Structure 1
Amino acid sequence: MTPIWRDVSASSLVAGFVAVLVGFTSSAAIVFSAAQALGANPAQTVSWMWALGLGMGLSSLGLSLWYRQPVLTAWSTPGAAVLAVSQGVTLPEATGAFMVCALLIMLAGYSGWFERLMSKIPMALASALLAGVLARFALDAVGAVAHAPVLVIAMTMAYLLGRRWWPRWSVPVVLMVGMGVAAAQGQLHLSSVDGSWGVPVWVSPTWSWAAMVSVALPLFVVTMASQNLPGVAAQRASGYNTPVSPVVGATGLASFLLAPFGGYALNLAAITAAICMGKEAHPDPARRYTASVFAGLLYMALGLAAGTIVSLMAAFPRALVLAVAGLALLGTMTAGLTAAVKDEQHREAAVLTFLVTLSGVTLAGVGSAFWGVVVGGLAQWLWTRRH
């Protein structure tokens, strides 16, 4: 087995950094809102970030090294949105619900039923699902032009020139140009970063049927349907056949152990994982796991220094994050669209999957990724029966 340091490249390190940057800045505010909605005090909120950072870091690092494939985990963003609108649930009751949700994720993973479900989804539909999820970031990057035209246009030009002259380094160049322009415009406030360590705070769980129904079950459903489903699709669409059952089960186990400290739900990443799985991370697919390994190390560092997260993430302008995410994911999105429409037998269903996923519609608290697969799968089934 090749030593890991021989597989590392500058592009994989940058891909890992971009994945962490996008992962934290895109949804950290939702996690903070969820903690506050459940009555967490400032120390407990920092503990949440400590637990989530260490959980994502250790699971990403361990799974990527074990399988030598890019396996990146994330906190459940739609799950945080569910928690943010919870009412009448105390933090100890929510902690008990987190542990029940984690047990359900472990059951779904280790029992193998989730993997059997994923094996029935055609590759065209999985690719369309991934493309639909990533296209939202591309549209957000285009929309950022209205708020920061000079910054986004400069980053876009850097990307175009990079793809022409140094394709392997195009994303690092985009990031450096973006930081340079933001600093020149006075939008990069690194001097305001206030460093402090994260300290775990234990919350003893209590058990409530109301919390099980209003928190545990919705958290489990949205995490599996809106996070783990596109996470597996991202792996399959990128050509990786990482075992689904033990990986999903491991995220449930990590969630269970960290739940009393605020680790409410961990799952497979899709968007940030796609950054580590693309050819921009490394031209050799067998060496792209180093990007998720580095991302895991960064997640751990941010978890240990959880007190600095808010000020650090605030130092980067939102337009910069949107632009670098959209441009970094452009190649992976294109590959997903190509695979989705390549097979004429699945083309129409794949387009429906892409459109429903891209719409961002939420029904019954479940995101568009799940409904995209449902609509596309139903269309494919009807089309097959018709012929």
Structure 2
Amino acid sequence: MASLLAKYLTPPMPQVTPEYDGLEFRWKFLTFRPAYFTNELYFLGAALLYFVVFFVGKKANESRAYKWYEAHLPLYKAQFSRPATAEGLVQDGNSDFFAYSTGRRGLKSLHTVFTLRPRHDLFQLIYQFARGLIELDYKVHDSVELEFTFREPADKDTAVTGCVWAVVAKDEMKQLRASRWDLTFTKTTDHAALPQSLAVMSEFADITSVLFKPYGAFSLPAILSQPDVQPYFRSLSLTDQPRVRPEHPLASSERSKRLILSLRLPPSSSASATLPLVTAAFQLVDIIAGEGKLPGVRGGLHAQLRPETRNKLKKIRDEVEKEIREEAAKEKREEEEEEKAAARKKARDEKLSKLSAAEQQKALDREKKRLLRKSQGKVKMR
């Protein structure tokens, strides 16, 4: 039996004849005739193509990320006492890069996160291309996100009011709404000071009025309206809520107020094209936190909002937290009921296993009658 199986699995020997007159390589007792390895040549070529794509794509991603980081590093150094860790730009895989900055008034930290296309993976590139042909709204591009986390002072009221507000490129809105639960707090409107390609998402118009008004020479709508930066702008959002809806009320240590700037990563040759947007983000941080030298920012966003707006914002958050707490409590009760039902069933099964076959049948018949009466009672109540 084993010999038959081995014979079946052994590939047939190549037909080597003395009449072979093709290309041949000989070395001592070894002979290599390429004409017999046509399929292997295709496999070798495919493997070589994959490795070429891998190394070229890997280098291309590294170049785009490092060029952008180097172009913006002087600004980071001017803004932070510790603009980067000892490692600088940290690479995670071949398409994700990270940088961490800290040491600035009003801010706890800045996380800079690069998410690039998988240029090193030929199969993922083919998948993305095919999906783009099927789903017209599916878009994949290189992006960089700057997440500013505000510092919460312990000895006084915060200058950063808890709210959700954003300016979003309209072609990014569908994807952003699907991935950001916090933006469900807002209403979407156009704004006369912005180009038609951008929209405002805000809980109250009062927040937009404060953030859009000029502060000396600084005007956020004017910067967002510059034609040179519009191709790279995706969204700018101020939020005090998590991106994903929490399953239970968050403790104060789990909460944070953040300004998030999301950009399309420019090509390496134009790495500094997004400098005006990043500079504007730092200035907006000062306006929100009430820091810096811009005129009219004293007290921050909290002091500039109307008292009724602050009260409404607080009321909304209290209602959402109450709803989350009630849902968490309901889910916990359901889990406890399921555990109790499972424990009762286990005890009942153990009791039945100790009875004789006839007694087990009688017990099962009683259980069926009980369940039938219970179901009939529910029908009558309806």
Q: Which bin holds the TM-score, normalised by the shorter protein?
A: under 0.3
Higher helix share: 1
Give the alignment's TM-score, normalised by structure 1: 0.27
Higher relative contact order (CA 8 A, sep 6+): 1
Bigger CA radius of gyration: 2
Higher strand share: 2
Give the alignment's TM-score, normalised by structure 2: 0.28
